[in-house]
Amino acid sequence: MDRTKSKIAFEEARKVIPGGVNSPARAFGAVGGIPIFIERAHGPFLYDIDGNRYIDYIGSWGPMILGHAHPKVLEVAIEAARGGSSYGAPTCRETELAELICQIVPAVEMVRMVSSGTEAVMSAIRVARGYTQRAVIVKFAGCYHGHVDSLLVAAGSSALTHGVPSSPGVPEGATRDTVVLPYNDLESLQNLFQQMGDRIAAVILEPVVGNMGLVIPSKLFLDSLRRLTKEAGALLIYDEVMTGFRLALGGVQELFQQSPDLSVFGKIIGGGYPVGAYGGRREIMQKVMPAGPVFQAGTLSGNPVAVAAGLATLRELQRTSPFAYLDKLGEQLEVGIKLILHELKLPYQFNRVGSMWTLFFTDKAVIDLESAKSSDTDKFSQFFWRMMDQGVYLPCSQFEAAFLSVAHTPEIIEQTLKAVRTALVDK
């Protein structure tokens, strides 16, 4: 494929934007080469500025569950924009979206809108500390919760991709009260709570991980987290920025029948527009100012365009309930890829939950960060570019989950499988 215009655009961008991109996950640093500059998107497809079309498996890193430019979402967003882009004052649609989230997610009784997943996590952590009057936060290696100073330790996503799990500029004091454990490691978790359970304000995790590639929790791990936090008087925070309203209408909480104290959302609840939210039990959320003493504010929180798009998206998901269809597409893709890899006798792991998936090039079961890092990243890079050359756009890192949308079809999955076979055959 000719990508001359993207190459020129990248060189221009590097003169005025650090690294030429506005988020490290877009930089193609893990696979080499230059990032592709997108001109537009529709349904399951991306179109770059050179005129190439790609089957899209990143979906803006998760929010485009209905596909790009879905007519119902587009219509309400345009209508909302005509009424003004921001007011700095409350609107009825904010209440409607909050009511809908509370209706869909039983563990959420009150919710506060913000403008990004990072902001939502930062706020949830502050509320947890304010509510418990404790300082220690527990996270898991490879889970990414945005670029919050206190959680940018052993992070996943682009922090892992670029080989910088922690970042310069984060002072030692910011992470002094952050404890990092291996994901899915019940023994480490139990030992920590025995040693310092009365100091722990909260445990935060991706209940299905998307930021070291897709990693699935064991039921025992999730059940033990709930029990241990309750016994210690600590809060359990589910970061469902990726998984919320995607793996089921009620997210991982519905899928695995779990009930955290606080939940963090983003992506889908904005229909592709910048948005975030955090919510939980009423007694906890009543600590947030102005109802309580824990400060959190944001000029663009509950932005009318983002809220309108989010409402349209959630209502469409309620109306159509596409999760069985998405799971069926995922199964078609998984079975096809496994068959190809088995025939070619290549080592692999294919992790999938519903419409989220990752192909790892390793013979070791991927259950945590260490096993994820056993993957052959050179093999992945080669695979990535061969798929791109056949018009299939995958996440540009071994350590990022891929996403399906309602706009994908069985025919598109078959096209993808043909591309997979071609990409994996030695040339």
Q: Which residues are catalytic?
A: 144, 239, 267
* Amino acid, single-letter form, for residue 171: P
How many CA within 13 A on the CB side of residue 205? 30
As given in the structure block, the two tokens for residue 89 are 């004052």
Please give the backbone phi and psi of residue 277, each rounded to the nearest 5 degrees, phi first: -160, 155
- 62 in Cβ contact with 268 (< 8 Å): yes
Please state whether beta strands 200-205 and 235-239 pair in parallel, antiparallel, or not at all (unpaired).
Answer: parallel
Question: 334 Cβ partners below 8 Å, 6+ apart?
Answer: 350, 352, 357
Tell whether omega for the bond before 290 is within 30 degrees of 0, i.e. cis: yes
Question: CA gyration radius for the chain?
Answer: 21
Cα first-last separation, the chain: 17
How far is Cα 20 from Cα 361, in angstroms, rounded to an integer? 29
Tokens of 313: 């998206």
User: Helix, strand, coil: what percent of the chain each, to 5?
Assistant: 45, 15, 40
Instruction: Using alpha carbons, select from 229, 220, 251, 223 the residue that is nearest to residue 107.
Output: 251
